[in-house]
Amino acid sequence: MNSFTIHILAADRVFYEGPCESLILPTISGLYGIQALHREVVCAIVPGEMKWRIPGGEDQYAAVSAGLVKVEKNDVLILVDSVERPEEIDEIRAKRASDEAKEALLQRRSIQEYHSAEAKLARALSRLRVKRRDNTFNG
């Protein structure tokens, strides 16, 4: 199978750089798949679950926050505020953040606060999905 190079960069670190067979990202219009020789594109990433496969390896999963992906000449650049592998996620803290965001949504004092709470809820829920997927495989 053909591969391409990905660079997954968070605000505070280089998460992964190397070869990749396939990549699926959460975008505004839904899940977006990328394979070798993909057309050039720039898309917004929304909080959710990212899945990629290293050549000859198993699927890898991570929770991503908002960001951008740029595909150009068989090279994919992913820029996100944060990205976490399942083992890096504190399930209790993510659950607490989810509960707090749900409560903030119910209170919705202003449209800005509503959108902020909505984004926090999306991030917390994606972190929980990725963590629970890992628990299913390892538990």
The residues pairing with 69 across neighbouring beta strands, listed in sequence order, are 43, 78
pLDDT at 138: 54
Q: What is the pLDDT of residue 22?
A: 96
In DSSP terms, which residues pair with 19 in a beta bridge?
5
Average pLDDT over residues 6-13: 96
Model pLDDT for residues 43-52, shown as the tens digit of each residue: 999 999 999 9
Residue predicted with more confidence, 98 or 38: 38
pLDDT digits (tens, 9 = 90+) for 42-101: 999 999 999 999 998 989 999 999 999 999 999 999 999 999 998 888 888 888 888 888
Q: Under 8 Å CB-to-CB from 70, ≥6 apart: which residues?
A: 41, 42, 76, 77, 79
pLDDT of residue 98: 84
**pTM of the shown model:** 0.78
Which pLDDT tens digit goes with each residue over 109-132?
788 887 788 888 888 888 888 888
> Based on the number of CB atoms within 10 Å of its own CB, is 94 exposed (0-12), middle (13-18) or buried (19 or more)?
buried
**Whose CA is closest to 62, among 3, 117, 116, 123?**
123
The confidence score (pLDDT) of residue 82 equals 92
Best CA proximity match to 38, nearest among 75, 8, 77: 75
Which band of pLDDT confidence, cut at 50, 70 and 90, is reported for residue 4?
very high
